[in-house]
A and B are shown apart, each in its own frame.
Chain A
Amino acid sequence: MQLSRFVWIFPLSGLLPAADQQLEVQPLPLADSDRPGDLTLKLSAYNQQDNGGIEQVDEDASVFEAVILARKQITDTGTLSLRALGDVVSAASIERAHNADWQAQQGGASGNYRVGLGGGWSEQGDQVDWRIGVQFAAEYAYLSSGANAGVTWNLPGRNTALSADLQVFMDTVDLIRFNGDEEGSEARDTYTLDLGWQQVLTPYDLLSLSLSHTEQSGFLATSYNSVFTPTSEYSEELPDSRSRTALTTRWRHSFGTDSAGEIGARYYTDDWGLSAVTLDVRYSHYLLGRRLLLEPTYRLHVQQAAKYYRESFIEPLSEYRTSDPDLGDFIGHMVGLKAGFLGGSLFGYKADWDVSLFAYDRDNGLSAFWVIIGQRVEF
């Protein structure tokens, strides 16, 4: 069970610029006090039910997360953003009945907290936008520091945008095994290059293609994960390098002045032998004079297991082995609904609220549901 992999990256926005950023005429310079800013708070509660997964391990889990993001345009073209994050994790796996002597010292599963800070700067130009960011995070038995930089080229006519983003993480893992054995610390380095292409097809259609490639090295197993033979339990062992590639395309269509829909698809493969196809369908519809925005979502994920994955093992064990259900075969269906309440006010400032509910059912028995609530205030 991987409880704390709530990765935190920091571009200010997504891989590609928002449509309004890409298509609008550049604004006139503003006085300092008129430059826009906003403060966003998001809270999430996640719950996983164990109706399968690893037979010997209770994988029930819950995670609560809070994120605060503040953004302020500082210059005519530059925006500063700051972020703080906190997680609280609880997991039934810390009381595994099969190992009564185990003292729940493991890292991610029982870390029970995660905190992080980050900041970024973005510049928007006539043809070229760029962004940089840094971030730090700490959790029990894990430290992370990361940086990112990216650039977007808006081609003449602003119908085509090309982007490139690089993310680097230099992390340190304390190796605390499933049985409480401590084996020191090891590095985990991650380099990700994202290349994006966003194209205006028609006055009603946008298309994007992105290629994401990640190279990882260092300790890449989950230190507290284990595998089982009929008579014993052993630590998970995985290679110290991983090369991962994803190709994604998304098509967004305007159905009218108040609605839009999107279909996206991703193909993923890596050199651990894991491959997956993901389909994602979203719909957005304004109601009540654009004061309510409803957004239903459906996601299908079909995954073929890593070559090191087995549900159970027999001696002698292979050099690399895992029973992590997240690296196994499964088909997952996610449905969700987000409701945004727009155009309100809070202490005289323009404010929006949103609430979202999601359910994710996997055919390997690990299902989850979660809720996200948010508030955004403009200042």
Chain B
Amino acid sequence: MRISQRCGCILLAGFIGLLAGGCTPVRVNQKQRLADPIMAFDHDHLHSEMMGHIITPREGAIGGFSSVGAGGCGCN
């Protein structure tokens, strides 16, 4: 198993562990902090997309951050 594959497994296991350990219902009146714009994962969507457009072609990987995928341009 290559190093990156092991990292992928660790990533998934870590996520499931976090979810299992930390997932308790949060009431509406407890969500004031979560509703702040800076708590959104990509609160400046256009900026995030432009970052994805710049970074993604420089890397062989796609997906995940900023939802920029393949296709739509002249490179692989």
Chain A positions within 8 Å of B, measured between CB atoms, are: 2-9, 11-16, 18-20, 23-25, 40, 42, 44, 46, 65, 67, 69, 107-108, 111, 114, 135, 137, 139, 141-142, 144, 146, 157-159, 165, 167-169, 171, 173, 188-190, 192, 194, 198-210, 212, 214, 216, 220-223, 238, 242, 244-252, 254, 257, 259-260, 262, 264-270, 274-278, 280, 284, 286, 293, 299, 301-304, 306, 324, 326-327, 332, 334, 338, 340, 354, 356, 358, 360, 362, 366, 368, 370, 372, 374
Contact = CB atoms under 8 A, between A and B. Distances in A.
Contact of A23 (B7, B34, B63): B34
B63 A2 contact: no
A216 B62 CA distance: 12
A214 B62 contact: yes
Contact of A207 (B19, B33, B53, B54): B19
B75 A206 contact: no
A314 B73 CA distance: 31
Contact of B26 (A108, A202, A262, A286): A202
Contacts of A198: 41
Given A25-B28, A246-B64, A277-B11, 10 more contacts: A7-B57, A7-B73, A14-B42, A19-B41, A114-B73, A201-B26, A203-B32, A247-B12, A260-B38, A277-B4
B64 A210 contact: yes
Interface residues of B, number: 65
Nearest to A13: B45
A165 B69 CA distance: 11
Given A192-B69, A326-B58, A173 B4 contact: no
Nearest to B59: A301
A157 B67 contact: no
Contacts of B75: 2-5, 108, 222
Interface string B39-70: 11111111111111111111111111111111
B65 to A, nearest CB: 6
Given A246-B62, A246-B64, A205 B22 contact: yes
A266 B53 contact: no
B53 A204 contact: no
Contact of B73 (A46, A144, A206): A144
Contacts of B38: 259-260, 284, 286, 293
- The SS class assigned to the A binding surface is strand
Contact of B53 (A8, A190, A246): A8
Residue with the highest number of chain A CB atoms closer than 10 Å, among B22, B50, B51: B50
A182 to B, nearest CB: 15
28 contacts: A6-B53, A9-B49, A14-B42, A19-B41, A20-B40, A67-B50, A142-B73, A142-B74, A159-B25, A171-B72, A190-B69, A192-B63, A192-B69, A199-B19, A201-B22, A203-B33, A209-B19, A212-B69, A244-B63, A246-B63, A266-B61, A266-B64, A267-B5, A268-B62, A278-B64, A299-B55, A303-B59, A326-B59
A208 B65 CA distance: 11
Residue with the highest number of chain B CB atoms closer than 10 Å, among A203, A216, A222, A264: A203
Residue with the highest number of chain A CB atoms closer than 10 Å, among B35, B54, B66: B54
Contact of A4 (B32, B40, B73): B73
B74 A173 contact: yes
B72 A8 contact: yes
